[in-house]
């Protein structure tokens, strides 16, 4: 493995490595059993800045910039199953043997495909407001994906001042408690709106995953193949991907748990990180030899 460390300033080591000819960026912190974090569309590894430091004591935490986002170069084929294969190439490159995997939204679908491809390598799987568990998705995303509105949005949001205004407006869509999102996260997301590559990649990924009838890819019928414990975390007030899809997924998981965050939207790990950590920490630690705690707001389920 050839890699070098970059300046970061957010408490983690920002690293860069070549994976099958693809320049790949990631954030690393802590030591111990590996924990791999996969962000969603219109995001980067910094989406986990509130989660990674809290998990670093006792874990080697890796937050990956998925292909086309952050400093990671895009893949020629951006289908979720292909990105999942890339994730395993990355894991081999940086020496992640059997990482617990956490995925949010589109990153959740990548995490699902990664677990289906190599189930023996995933001791624990966490899905946060995951894509791929049903067809229904917010109609605004359908219009953005299938009409010129997506191109217009990507263009307008790069204009001076518009990115900031757009991000504030969208906060009512993604978040239910935007005042709980750290200022550093707001500043970073504002900066992303000025990146032409980031906006174009986000739109390309959206168009690849959303059609006129909603989400194109669903792995719901294959969930019974996942024998590892799976934690599903969802903001109860998510209006991007409805929380009932997470509830429905439990009926298909051999060993599934659900943690609903009562007052949270599509990105609970940003606006309700304490509540997410309350569920995530004991679940992941149990897979590392610790004792799994109870689920105060969870709905344990085991479907045969």
The per-residue pLDDT for range 260-283, each reduced to its tens digit, is 999 999 999 999 999 999 999 999
DSSP string, the chain: --EEEE---SSSEEEEEEETTEEEEEEEE--SSEEEEE--TT--GGGGTTTHHHH-TTSEEEEE--TTSTTPPPPS---HHHHHHHHHHHHHHHT-SS-EEEEETHHHHHHHHHHHH-GGG-S-EEEES-SSS-S---HHHHHHHHSTHHHHHHHHTTSTTHHHHHHHHHHHHH-S-GGGS-HHHHHHHHHHTT-HHHHHHHHHHHHHHEETTEES---GGGGGG--S-EEEEEETT-SSS-THHHHHHTTT-TTEEEEEETT--S-HHHHSHHHHHHHHHHHHHHTTT------SSEEEE---
The per-residue pLDDT for range 47-92, each reduced to its tens digit, is 999 999 999 999 999 999 999 999 999 998 889 999 999 999 999 9
Q: What is the pTM of this model?
A: 0.87
The per-residue pLDDT for range 231-259, each reduced to its tens digit, is 999 999 999 999 999 999 999 999 999 99
Q: Can you tell me the distance from the alpha carbon of 298 to that of 26, in angstroms, rounded to the nearest whole number? A: 31
pLDDT of residue 165: 64
Residue 162, pLDDT above cutoff 80: no
Burial 76-105, CB ≥16 within 10 A → b, else e: eebebbebbbbbbebbebbebeebbbbbbb
* Partners of 121 in beta bridges: none
Residue 10, pLDDT above cutoff 80: no
pLDDT of residue 209: 86
Rounded-to-10 torsion of CA 66, 19, 29, 127: 40
Residue 147, pLDDT above cutoff 60: yes
Q: How many CB atoms neighbour CB 152 within 10 A? A: 11
């Amino acid at each position: 493995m050839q890699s070098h460390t970059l300046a970061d300033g957010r408490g983690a080591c920002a690293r860069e490595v070549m994976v099958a000819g693809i320049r790949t960026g990631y954030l690393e912190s802590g030591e111990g059993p590996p924990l791999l974090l996969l962000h969603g569309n219109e995001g980067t590894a910094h989406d986990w800045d509130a989660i990674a430091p809290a998990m670093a004591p006792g874990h080697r935490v890796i937050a990956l910039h998925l292909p086309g986002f952050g400093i990671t170069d895009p893949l020629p084929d951006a289908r979720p199953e292909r990105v999942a294969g890339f994730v395993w190439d990355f894991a081999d490159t940086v020496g992640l043997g059997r990482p617990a995997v956490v995925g949010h939204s589109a990153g959740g679908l990548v995490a699902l495909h990664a677990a289906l491809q190599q189930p023996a390598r995933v001791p624990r799987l966490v899905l946060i407001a995951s894509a791929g568990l049903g067809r229904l998705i917010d109609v605004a995303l359908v219009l953005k994906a299938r009409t010129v509105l997506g191109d217009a949005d990507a263009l307008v949001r790069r204009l001076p001042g518009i990115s900031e205004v757009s991000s504030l407006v969208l906060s009512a869509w993604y978040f239910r408690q935007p005042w709980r999102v750290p200022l550093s996260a707001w500043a970073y997301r504002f900066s992303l709106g000025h990146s032409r590559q980031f906006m174009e990649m986000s739109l390309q990924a959206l168009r690849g995953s959303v059609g006129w009838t909603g989400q194109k890819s669903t792995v719901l019928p294959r969930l019974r193949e996942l024998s590892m414990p799976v934690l599903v975390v969802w903001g109860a007030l998510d209006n991007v991907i409805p929380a009932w899809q997470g509830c429905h997924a439990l009926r298909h998981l051999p060993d599934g748990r659900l943690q609903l965050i009562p007052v949270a939207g599509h990105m609970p790990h940003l606006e309700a990180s304490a509540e997410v950590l309350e569920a995530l920490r004991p679940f992941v630690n149990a897979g590392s030899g610790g004792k799994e705690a109870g689920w105060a707001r969870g709905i344990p389920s085991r479907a045969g």
